[in-house]
Amino acid sequence: MRKLLCVTALAVSQLTFAAAEERKFCIYDPLGANGNLYGLMKEYREFAIQQNVNIHLRAYTDEKIASDDFKAEQCDAVMLTGARARPYGKFASTIEAIGAVPTTSVMRSLVNTISQPGAAKYMVTGDRYEVGGVIPAGPIYLFVRDRSVDTVEEMSGKRIATLEYDEPSVKMVNHIGASIVPSNSANFSGKFNNGSVDIAYAPAIAYSPLEMYKGIGTKGGILRYNLAYLDFQVLLHKERFPEGYGQKSRLYVAGLFDKANAFVTQDTAGIPETTWIDLPKADVEKYNEMLRQVRITLRDEGVYDATMLTLLRKLRCRENPAEGECVENLE
């Protein structure tokens, strides 16, 4: 009898393996299949196979094509930046809201919170899309060719390399009276380095590989102020995955936070201390307030998700309850 049970169990396990669903996961990594994100997603395959999903990875170095292939259902899952993920989930894409995530600890709390089963209802968009996890990629900073340009007033009239597909970026540049120079992730650094623009915004990871120190030279610098928090999101065509897969995926991806954050820490440490420009506390408070107003405007215009903004405000206030925004509760 025991033998029979063993044989049956073995047969069932073989059957389960044989029935593993084959799914295609398209990954945008600026460094392609050699990049750290792609490497992290190789480990994600191990998680997926345990959910009976056999994932095949494909690298993309062009984010727009990755997004288009996902939309056209050429990919069952995709990894995109938060800004590109907007059409697939307003709630999660609002994580990249301007000035909304000031520290890595707020980002960590956020990722843990939205990965819990209670948050599942916010991570699904209609019947089609589901966010299967969020990976941190670090704060976005302003890179300036002239370090005397360290106030919003001085940025007025300056040329800023702006991601044209990202509506909030366009609004923000217009808000401060600077001029937009349409750019993308592949050409903004060239424009900054050759002086076609005065200012660019980018995460720390861009500094060394894209040689942004060339544009900074001896006169420029990087403002030590988190404009937004870059993240990568795993997006799923919901119906292509087993019931409950998305939730398990979010929990697994949340567990990759420290590994991903270690890359951010390493890249940030690679920027010389003298390159950083520290802003006076009064300016920081002024800009926090300015960005809050922009967020509220964009929320009212339907660009940002109100629930996510509220969640982010509460997480910021848990860390810093004395802030004025914690009394006003405008978000």
Residues that bind another protein (CB under 8 A): 17, 20, 31-36, 39, 42-43, 45-46, 49-50, 58-62, 184, 186-187, 190, 208-211, 213, 259, 263, 266, 270
CA distance 301 to 73: 29
Least distance CB 75 / another protein (angstroms): 11
Compare residues 105 and 194 and give the one whose CB is closer to another protein: 194
Q: In this structure, what token pair is assigned to residue 98?
A: 């301007």
Eight-state DSSP code of residue 102: -
Least distance CB 89 / another protein (angstroms): 24
Name which of 89, 28, 40, 96 is nearest 252 in CA terms. Answer: 40
Least distance CB 195 / another protein (angstroms): 16
Compare residues 187 and 307 and give the one whose CB is closer to another protein: 187
Compare residues 151 and 184 and give the one whose CB is closer to another protein: 184
CA distance 101 to 134: 14
Least distance CB 50 / another protein (angstroms): 7
Least distance CB 260 / another protein (angstroms): 10
CA distance 44 to 40: 7
Eight-state DSSP code of residue 280: P
Query: Is residue 165 within 8 Å of 144, Cβ to Cβ?
Result: no
Least distance CB 223 / another protein (angstroms): 21
Query: Is residue 204 within 8 Å of 115, Cβ to Cβ?
Result: no
DSSP β-bridge partners for residue 81: 232
| Single-letter amino acid code for the residue at 318 | R
Compare residues 54 and 105 and give the one whose CB is closer to another protein: 54
Q: Is the dihedral of CA 51, 41, 21, 15 positive or negative?
A: negative
Least distance CB 159 / another protein (angstroms): 17
Eight-state DSSP code of residue 100: -
Compare residues 64 and 224 and give the one whose CB is closer to another protein: 64
Name which of 80, 106, 112 is nearest 93 in CA terms. Answer: 80
Query: Residue 53: which residues within 8 A CB-CB, separation 6 or more?
Result: 20, 21, 23, 241, 242, 245
Compare residues 143 and 263 and give the one whose CB is closer to another protein: 263
Compare residues 56 and 219 and give the one whose CB is closer to another protein: 56
